[in-house]
Amino acid sequence: MKDLTRSKLKLAFLLLITFVPITMATFAFRTATESGGFGSGTVNKGNFILPPADITDLGMSDATGAPMFTSFEDLVATLESEEDYVAQPWLMIFVNAGTCDAACEERVFYLRQLHITLGKNIERVRRYYLHADAAPIAAQTASHFREQYPSMGIAYSSAQQLQQSLAAKGVDLDLTAEDYVFFVDPVGNVMMYYDGSHTIEDIKTDLDRLLRHSSLG
């Protein structure tokens, strides 16, 4: 019983120190005006997911099929003390179902360029290419990614599972028609996404603002 109580207190403490700054950052992000103040209008370019989905809803696995992420609650449950908690980065996940064609390759390239422009904040963000297809990623494509984008992680998922999980959160995707970019905050909340209508400049504008208003990651 004591261990259970201690675990609950530990979880509550970590949720407090992580959730509050992110909540404040989200509030500031949604109400910030172009002049830098705060007003009634939102300035985000991407689509908010409210309430957010969880990182596990994306069903990301490695090449062996092993899950790559657990929920924040499960992560906390494995900690012996608050000092064991290591802050996680923000994630920028590019989701593609099928072959990575020229348009897909261009998106991957410009997302890398966006990442580079973050300067001192570059370590606060991790990029992933999420291959959401039953067929394995082409060996040539995987080799090309490892050579040209060594800092980009490669993950795998099921397009059907991903679409169903996010549909339950009110997000309707069509991975047969277009690719998507997702932002995941440092506690595993999938909180914003972009489709083909959004430019790299749109994504960068939002990411810069999120990093500016959040002390986490």
Would you call 56 exposed, middle or buried from its count of C-beta atoms within 10 A (0-12, 13-18, 19+)?
A: middle
Tens digit of pLDDT per residue, the chain (217 long)?
445 445 544 555 555 545 544 544 454 444 444 444 334 455 789 998 988 999 999 999 999 999 999 988 787 777 776 666 677 899 999 999 989 999 999 999 999 999 999 999 999 999 999 999 988 898 999 999 999 999 999 999 999 999 999 999 889 999 988 999 999 998 899 999 999 999 999 999 999 988 988 776 6
What is the predicted pLDDT for the residue at 135?
84
Number of structural domains found in the chain:
1
Residue 167's domain spans which residues? Answer: 2-213
Look-up of token digits 């995941």: 184
What Cα–Cα distance (Å) separates residue 206 from each residue in 31, 100, 160, 188? Answer: 13, 25, 28, 18
What is the predicted pLDDT for the residue at 71?
86
Distance CA 205, CA 201 (A): 6
Domain at 86, CATH number: 3.40.30.10
Instruction: Please state, as a whole number, how many other Cβ atoms lie within 10 Å of the Cβ of residue 125.
Output: 18
